[in-house]
Amino acid sequence: MADEIQVLIVDDSALMRNLIGHMIEDTPGLAVAEKAMNGIFALQKIPRVNPDVIVLDLEMPEMNGIEFLKERKKQGITVPVVILSSIAARGAEITMEALSLGASDFIQKPSGSISEDIHVVKETLVNKLLGYGGAYRKTQGRKVLSPVEYKEKTPSDKHSDVAIHFKLAASPVIEPAQPPVRARSPAKTEIIAIGISTGGPDALRVVFSKLDADLKIPIVVVQHMPAGFTNEFAKSLDRICPLDVKEAEDGDPIQPGRILIAQGNKHLEVEKKAAGAVVRLSDDPLVSGHRPSADVLFASVAMNYSNHALGVIMTGMGRDGAQHLGTIYKEGGMTLGQDEASAVVYGMPRVAYELGHVMEQVSLPNMARRICEVAKAQR
């Protein structure tokens, strides 16, 4: 169908192009626009096939992924790019360079440049293609069909992020439920907790670059990201943020003016001790389908900081964080959610909003300002 999200696959392996193509064709709302074996052919095909999103390998002959991203930027091409590459597994710096050059997100190939087991990342891949491709189509004034128009294809796991995305996409946003009863009134903010997923790398750049340099309140963040990348990701954010940003390590003190990013594949919780608050990392089972999980973070923040917390839920597929953002609210904390218009995927913040757990919806361009205003308010 012409209204499906059109995906351009760029990979030098014919096997990979075919395997990725099969996964796309098996997903409601996605279609293969064209395939290319390197960046040169991709650039030639973009004007003709007009894709909504690009899947890009990094290691290719003649023009590799980094070179393609540089040329894409030079030509003013705005089609979002999702990196799918084996180099992502060993070159976090190169992956962060790709993000800095305009790639929206990345996924590791599970077992090298030719991964015959690529199906293990299908859920993650189609999650990002639906999110970024759908958001781009909307900016171009093109229709995004809802899953009810694809009855012959349905996700097998009804609890997966993609299945939840389909269910949400097929229904209008509803008015929020009655907010939970508060145990106490909000007090002075002592910690800010952020949960974010698909669309997060770009969104966090926007927010962190605009934070006030005098914001003396610690921030803890769960961004869904695989192991091995959050250190470089934190460094990339530290370069543009007036506050200190680092990857969280177990036992790190929670300090004013410091942002701690959860490690990939590790839950992050906060713990108050006599000597001060610290973060704790764990390998506990997945929660809401994720590790790290925003729900785990929010629950621990609510338990340890009660009505002295600010919880923020932003762009992301699925529902992680929506439940326990409500726990922060119940304990008397403040809560913000990203609005539909500015979210790449209005999934996590939408579920939280519909549950009545979001006190105020905020656009991405205004999020840093509102975080600072709410956090600094005297209560």
Query: Is residue 182 within 8 Å of residue 189, measured between CB atoms?
Result: no
In the structure, what pLDDT confidence band is assigned to residue 227 with cuts at 50, 70 and 90? Answer: confident
Residue 57 annotated as catalytic: no
Residue 197 annotated as catalytic: yes
Q: Into which CATH architecture does domain 191-376 fall?
A: 3-Layer(aba) Sandwich (3.40)
116-135 exposure pattern, b = at least 16 Cβ within 10 A, e = fewer:
eebeebbbbbbbbbbbbbbb
- Catalytic member of 85, 104, 115, 197: 197
CATH of 5-169, one of 3.40.50.620, 3.40.50.2300, 3.40.1080.10, 3.40.109.10: 3.40.50.2300
- Topology agreement, domain 5-169 and domain 191-376: yes
CA-derived radius of gyration, the chain: 20
pLDDT the model gives residue 172: 85
Supply the DSSP symbol for 263.
Answer: P
In the structure, what pLDDT confidence band is assigned to residue 165 with cuts at 50, 70 and 90? Answer: confident
Count of CB atoms situated within 10 Å of the CB of 77:
18
Q: Which two tokens stand for residue 239?
A: 């370069």
| For the chain, domain boundaries | 5-169, 191-376
| Residues 6-63 pLDDT 10s | 999 999 999 999 999 999 998 888 999 999 999 999 999 999 999 999 999 998 999 9
Q: Is the pTM of this model over 0.95?
A: no
- Catalytic member of 224, 290, 308, 324: 224
- Catalytic member of 320, 324, 339, 342: 320
Amino acid present at 42: A
